Amino acid sequence: MVRASREGLEVMTTDLMRRIRDRAARLCVIGQGYVGLPLAIAFARGGFVVTGLDTDPDRLGALNAGRSHSPDVEDETLATVLREGLYEASADFSVLDQSDVAVICVPTPLRKTKDPDISFVLAAAEEVAARFRPGHLVILESTTYPGTTQELLVPLFEGRGARPGVDVFLAFSPERIDPANPTYSVTDIPKVVGGVTPRCAALAAFLYRQIIAQVIVVSNAKVAELVKLYENVFRNVNIALANEFALMCRRLGVSTREVIDAAATKPFGFLPFYPGPGIGGHCIGVDPAYLAWKMRLDGYEARCIRLADEINRSMPGHVVELVGEALNRRRRCLNGATILALGVAYKRGVGDTRESPALEVLGRLIECGAGVAYADPYVPEITLGGHAFKAVEPTDERLAGADCVLILTDHAEFDYHRIVAVAALVVDTRGATYEIQAPAGRVVTL
Ligand SMILES: NC(=O)c1ccc[n+]([C@@H]2O[C@H](COP(=O)([O-])OP(=O)(O)OC[C@H]3O[C@@H](n4cnc5c(N)ncnc54)[C@H](O)[C@@H]3O)[C@@H](O)[C@H]2O)c1
């Protein structure tokens, strides 16, 4: 392998910058999910030739046929970049041989033991390292524990004889996208970058500045990894606080939402978070566990994270209790009740059911003997306790016929005025009906 001399390093750096600036640099984005696809398309729209690498043949087939699975990429936009030859989805990792930049956006879930499952990152990074060529810029975007870039990626490349910052440029840049957010897309959200060396950071920042207005360079990759974790721990802990506050307000006979909304009128020092049926999605409930795991290895117990997790994970059970009590007041019991659940995605506007607390709520209701049906415009089918359920339309007949209509995800597509008018009993875990007048006892909120 050709090693870069100091002079050669300067030439290699300038050359990569020129190729990026002139859109001659070839990009590979590994993982074409909620994060990788919008990023790949943003680069393609910025004039780069991008290959979206993935291991899922169904996903690849759909993408190359112009069908996007992401709420942040319109089919039309995908079709345009495909037609212009700026984007292609592929499972052929040999394209890395010809690439200048590889960005890794693969999943970072938890194992059953709640330890980080870093196997997807390792597999993707190994593909890149195996095809490394001098001057390659490699950026990890998957959310992960502090130290991953330095402790996992660096040795992988060094094992191939590539010195980070000299022969290969390694950086971490957290993805902060909020799928289906109508205000902030991948290119509007300031990008944080930390490199294994200052040169690595400078090159990664130069790349992102081509499509993102604000790029913030931090001291190193570990700082960048921690930025993302702190953001998501912040959300997780504040949601837990709102959830616990809801439990207290219920005992005090006070509307949680009225308290939070009034508190939110304070123009400084307060950020409103609202209660819900629990934590879902691939990030907020998962990422704090990555940090807690890493700290445990160091003999430190992350107490805020542990307590927030405990409170948030207790919420599905609390929702089931709420439904049971509401039915009881109407002389019904959970066993044998018909429940129509509205929304099973982990949040509004998406079809993602990963870690969705709605699934746990429904599973528990079934265990209690309730008959369950669900409506969700984004999720055509779910599996509960080994049984497949198909989504139903929330018709007036179904709304009126259910013993309880349970709002678990506040999708904008649901007509909440109609729901409150037609249903006999509504349990609302999302505050979707908060401003709607209803006869006493008809709507129960968290
Ligand atoms: N979803 C979000 O809102 C969000 C936001 C910010 C950060 N993140 C982080 O971004 C990362 C990716 O999340 P996501 O939601 O896009 O996941 P996803 O499951 O939607 O997509 C991941 C994709 O990677 C593919 N993949 C798995 N292993 C692969 C491999 N070895 N090579 C190539 N492709 C492979 C999968 O087939 C899938 O298409 C995670 O670390 C996540 O925590 C997610």
Candidate from 30, 32, 35 with most ligand 1 atoms within 8 A of CB, to mutate? 35
Reply yes or no on whether the pLDDT at 333 is more than 70.
yes
- The pTM assigned to this predicted structure is 0.94
- Tell me what pLDDT residue 88 has: 98
CB distance 29 to 103 below 8 Å? yes
Ligand 1 proximity of 116 Cβ (cutoff 6 Å) = no
Ligand 1 proximity of 165 Cβ (cutoff 6 Å) = no
Write the DSSP assignment of 125-178 as a string of letters. Answer: HHHHHHT--TTEEEEE-S---TTHIIIIIHHHHHTTT--BTTTEEEEE------
Rounded CA separation 364/320 (Å): 7
Reply yes or no on whether the pLDDT at 262 is more than 60.
yes
Q: What percent of the chain has pLDDT over 90?
A: 94
**What separation in Å is there between the alpha carbon of 40 and the centre of ligand 1?**
13
Candidate from 92, 172, 282, 352 with most ligand 1 atoms within 8 A of CB, to mutate? 282
**What separation in Å is there between the alpha carbon of 207 and the centre of ligand 1?**
21
Q: What is the pLDDT of residues 29-58, one digit of tens each?
A: 999 999 999 999 999 999 999 999 999 999
**Which among 110, 160, 152, 117 has a CA at the least distance from the CA of 136?**
160
- Give the residue numbers marked as catalytic: 283
Q: What is the pLDDT of residues 273-308, one digit of tens each?
A: 999 999 998 899 999 999 999 999 999 999 999 999
Q: What is the pLDDT of residues 104-117, one digit of tens each?
A: 999 999 998 989 99
Q: Write down all domains in the chain, each with its CATH number in brackets.
A: 6-221 (3.40.50.720), 235-445 (3.40.50.720)
Phi first, then psi, for residue 312 (nearest 5°) are: -65, -40
Q: What is the pLDDT of residues 67-100, one digit of tens each?
A: 999 999 999 999 999 999 999 999 999 999 999 9
116: DSSP letter: B
- Tell me what pLDDT residue 3 has: 57
Q: What percent of the chain has pLDDT over 70?
A: 99
pLDDT band at 189 (very low <50, low <70, confident <90, very high): very high
Residue recorded with tokens 């069908």: 67
Reply yes or no on whether the pLDDT at 1 is more than 80.
no
Reply yes or no on whether the pLDDT at 402 is more than 70.
yes
Reply yes or no on whether the pLDDT at 438 is more than 60.
yes
Rounded CA separation 245/242 (Å): 5
pLDDT band at 4 (very low <50, low <70, confident <90, very high): low
Q: Whose CA is nearest to atom 5 of ligand 1?
A: 177
Rounded CA separation 320/343 (Å): 15
Rounded CA separation 399/426 (Å): 9
pLDDT band at 140 (very low <50, low <70, confident <90, very high): very high
Ligand 1 proximity of 409 Cβ (cutoff 6 Å) = no
What Rg value do the Cα atoms of the chain yield, rounded? 24
- Tell me what pLDDT residue 156 has: 96
Phi first, then psi, for residue 232 (nearest 5°) are: -80, -30
Report the chain's mean pLDDT, rounded to a whole number.
Answer: 96
Q: Whose CA is nearest to atom 27 of ligand 1?
A: 106
Phi first, then psi, for residue 292 (nearest 5°) are: -60, -40
Reply yes or no on whether the pLDDT at 256 is more than 80.
yes
- Tell me what pLDDT residue 439 has: 87
